[in-house]
Structure 1
């Protein structure tokens, strides 16, 4: 995808991310985590507009089951593509960039959680080489809102070995 640039988000991107993709609290949180080397927020840009993102969670997982079975494994989270740019390979490009970055940092595998029932995402991840992790589904939580409420999703976990 020659017309798409993928790069880590910068603090000055917050307005574009929130304005185009919404979720200003989420992006502010992920940029803070990135500044502390706890993750990487990769962004996809086309023609000067942000069109997608994915976050690489590098700190211990929030989910106890993932911490137990995959204690050192980074997580690909929050793959999001703007509605006008879906089904054009942007998500695949973001996942590929995330995997290369992780492999370059010495990681042997990567994991992700996909909400049960999100068959389109599960098909994409399977096509990209992700496989069920062999344990039960887990509860995944959203970023807390201003009242401390977190949404819960039941998710399957998938893993992939990274080529180095």
Structure 2
């Protein structure tokens, strides 16, 4: 699966051709150049993919990355979510470059993730969404994900583009979608 194209129909309202595929070594170089992150997030996600625990999906227009997301094949990462839905996969770290938000990139990434999960025989796919992220919640609900009432709290550190360290505590709600039988 590494680096192969996924068949996801382009969205009629998106104004460019978009390819969505699992990240490969060539893609990793392009990601680091076009969409740099202080903590090499792309490298960390690609490492998870190489270890077989995840698939790092990236949406592209030509050689330009539009957005990305990680499919966790061993289930939800939150303790409560994993206990409640141990047989699901989870899409996390879904992000779209700020200037491209609202143009269908997130939808295409989620549809590609759903297709991959279904192809592997999974019946449930989950997303965790921060309680203070209503835009993402609206997207997930529109795509058929339903709230479960399962809440997890996680703490993490990250570095911004200016090298400033941040500590975050995030409260996430798990949403779930049943895939085709």
Range of TM-score over shorter length: 0.7 to 0.9
Question: CA–CA distance in 1 between the matches of 2:155 and 2:110?
Answer: 21
The aligned residue for residue 6 of structure 2 is: none
The number of residue pairs the alignment matches comes to 160
Question: CA–CA distance in 1 between the matches of 2:179 and 2:110?
Answer: 12
The runs of 5 or more residues in structure 2 that have no matched partner are 1-9, 11-15, 160-165
Superposition deviation, residue 150 in structure 1:
6.3
Aligned Cα root-mean-square deviation (Å): 2.0
The aligned residue for residue 14 of structure 1 is: 28
The answer to whether the Cα contact below 8 Å between 1:132 and 1:158 also exists between their aligned partners in 2 is: yes
More deviation in 8-17 or 88-97? 8-17
More helix by share: 1
More deviation in 9-18 or 71-80? 9-18
Superposition deviation, residue 142 in structure 1:
4.0
Summarize the alignment of residues 55-70 of structure 1 with structure 2, pairs less than 5 Å apart: 55-70=70-85
Q: Deviations over 1:120-154 (max 9, x none)?
A: 1000000000001133x211344777xxx963310
| TM-score, structure 1 normalization | 0.87
1:108 aligns with 2:99: no
The answer to whether the Cα contact below 8 Å between 1:26 and 1:143 also exists between their aligned partners in 2 is: no
Question: CA–CA distance in 2 between the matches of 1:112 and 1:143?
Answer: 21
The runs of 5 or more residues in structure 1 that have no matched partner are none
